[in-house]
């Protein structure tokens, strides 16, 4: 008779039959870098997360390094915004400066630059605007210019999060033309118009000034459409695919994993982080157990890598349990 418990009797056999693992190498830690000096601002809706000015970054980088985290995802917060998001593609912009600083501090730390306009535009949308419409094609050259400037500053990888159609192809061509044939594109392919981004928008000062992002981000009701987004991005030259948010969209991760042979990245977003942190701070849940269970869920669903604000804690817990 089958008795499933035979393989659960002790830690050794459980460790041997375990199907999925969370590894430090697969974690990507987001960083918010703000223009200015001597700034370490806590983000209220994301306990444990701060905006850092470049001169205060060393403390955080040292922690990242000590814990064995090998990759960061950068979000720049400029002091000045305008209609066309100039700060995103200014060679002296905050993100470009941060990339140069980090690569100088430790060239081994793998730096991924988020590519979008919303942190840099006065209206807070991810693209250019005319008569209240977010323009697709007119936005592409600016995204490409931003991506190339990040590569020039030393970014190892770029990650477009704008959700304009055809931007992967446009960015790929621009990178190639500028000689960056070996800089991969990690595309936010299945990115939903989600309520789970609101703490991030506090952190990155990127909330839209009017309307919402429903004309360019995906409808949370659509799972099959996510596969079309992924397919297009792969054809356009994406090297890795992000699914975002992660927890309420595990089916999407699984579907991508069942249908495509490309590394999938789960973005465990700000609202998911905020919910776990709030419950943990109230003593209602065991933070370590819940976070590790969520990480395993992403892996089980088929994610190869995980972008998470919990990365430092996860790394710490993994070391602790070794």
Q: Which is nearer to ligand PBG, 118 or 183 (by Cβ)? A: 118
175 binds Zn ion (CB under 5 A): no
118 binds ligand PBG (CB under 6 A): yes
Query: Interhelix angle for 140-153 vs 167-177, to 10°?
Result: 40
- Is 244 annotated as catalytic? yes
51 binds, among Zn ion, ligand PBG, none (CB under 5 to 8 A by kind): none
Tokens of 232: 């297009």
Q: What is the phi/psi pair of residue 10, to 5°?
A: -145, 170
Q: Which of residues 140-179 bind ligand PBG (CB under 6 A)?
A: 161-162
Compute the least distance from the CB of residue 270 to ligand PBG, in Å.
3
CA distances from 107 to 17, 34, 71, 102, 242 (A): 38, 21, 11, 7, 25
112 binds Zn ion (CB under 5 A): no
Q: What is the phi/psi pair of residue 157, to 5°?
A: -155, 150
How many of the chain's residues bind ligand PBG (CB under 6 A)?
13
Tokens of 81: 């915004």
265 binds Zn ion (CB under 5 A): no
- Is 191 annotated as catalytic? yes
Which residues, 6+ apart, have CB-to-CB distance to 219 below 8 Å? Answer: 192, 193, 225
Which residues, 6+ apart, have CB-to-CB distance to 33 below 8 Å? Answer: 51, 52, 53, 54, 57, 74, 75, 76, 77, 94, 95, 98
Q: Which is nearer to ligand PBG, 213 or 277 (by Cβ)? A: 213
- Is residue 310 a contact partner of residue 288, using CB atoms and an 8 Å limit? no
Q: Which is nearer to ligand PBG, 141 or 179 (by Cβ)? A: 141
Q: What is the phi/psi pair of residue 63, to 5°?
A: -65, -45
Rounded to whole angstroms, the Cα distance separating 37 from 40 reads: 9
The single residue listed with the structure tokens 């356009």 is 236
Q: Which of residues 183-202 bind ligand PBG (CB under 6 A)?
A: 197, 200-201
How many Å is the Cα radius of gyration of the chain? 20
H/E element, 214: none
Q: Which of residues 189-248 bind Zn ion (CB under 5 A)?
A: none
Rounded to whole angstroms, the Cα distance separating 250 from 287 reads: 20
Q: Which is nearer to ligand PBG, 241 or 320 (by Cβ)? A: 241
Q: Out of 81, 191, 277, 299, pick the active-site residue.
A: 191
298 binds ligand PBG (CB under 6 A): no
Q: Give the contact letters, 260-289, x = binds to ligand PBG (CB under 6 A), - = no.
A: ---------xx-------------------
121 binds ligand PBG (CB under 6 A): no
Q: Which of 64, 116, 144, 256 binds Zn ion (CB under 5 A)?
A: 116
114 binds, among Zn ion, ligand PBG, none (CB under 5 to 8 A by kind): ligand PBG
Q: Which of 110-118, 174-182, 247-255, 281-289 is the region at the interface with ligand PBG (rule: CB under 6 A)?
A: 110-118
Q: Give the contact letters, 57-96, x = binds to ligand PBG (CB under 6 A), - = no.
A: ----------------------------------------
Rounded to whole angstroms, the Cα distance separating 107 from 100 reads: 10
Q: Which of 33, 112, 118, 143 binds Zn ion (CB under 5 A)?
A: 118
Paired residues of 121 in beta bridges = 82
| Interacting residue ranges for ligand PBG, rule: CB under 6 A | 114, 116, 118, 126, 161-162, 197, 200-201, 206, 213, 269-270
């Amino acid at each position: 008779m089958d008795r499933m418990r035979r393989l659960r009797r002790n830690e050794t056999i459980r460790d041997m039959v375990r199907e999925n693992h969370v590894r430090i190498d697969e974690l990507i830690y987001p960083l918010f870098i703000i223009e200015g000096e001597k700034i370490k601002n806590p983000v209220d809706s994301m306990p444990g997360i701060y905006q850092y000015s470049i001169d205060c970054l060393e403390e955080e980088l040292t922690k990242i390094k000590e814990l064995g985290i090998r990759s960061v995802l950068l979000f720049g917060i400029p002091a000045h915004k305008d209609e066309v998001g100039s700060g995103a593609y200014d060679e002296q912009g905050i993100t470009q400066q941060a990339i140069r600083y980090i690569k100088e501090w430790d060239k081994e730390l793998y730096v991924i630059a988020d590519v979008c306009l919303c942190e840099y535009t006065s209206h807070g949308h991810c693209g250019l605007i005319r008569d209240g419409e977010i323009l697709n094609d007119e936005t592409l050259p600016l995204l490409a210019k931003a991506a190339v400037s990040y590569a020039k500053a030393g970014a190892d990888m770029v990650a477009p999060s704008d959700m304009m159609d055809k931007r992967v192809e446009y960015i790929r061509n621009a990178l190639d033309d500028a000689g960056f044939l070996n800089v991969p594109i990690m595309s936010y392919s299945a990115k939903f118009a989600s309520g789970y981004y609101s703490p991030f928008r506090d952190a990155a000062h990127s909330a839209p000034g009017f309307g919402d992002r429903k004309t360019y981000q995906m409808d949370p009701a659509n799972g099959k459409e996510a596969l079309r987004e992924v397919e297009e991005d792969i054809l356009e030259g994406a090297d890795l695919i992000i699914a975002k948010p992660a927890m309420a969209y595990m089916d999407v991760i699984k579907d991508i994993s069942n249908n495509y042979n490309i590394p999938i990245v789960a973005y465990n977003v700000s609202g998911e982080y905020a919910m776990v942190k709030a419950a943990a701070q109230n003593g209602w849940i065991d933070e370590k157990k819940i976070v590790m269970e969520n990480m395993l869920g992403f892996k089980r669903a088929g994610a190869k890598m995980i972008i998470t604000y919990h990365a430092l804690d996860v790394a710490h817990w993994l070391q602790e349990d070794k």
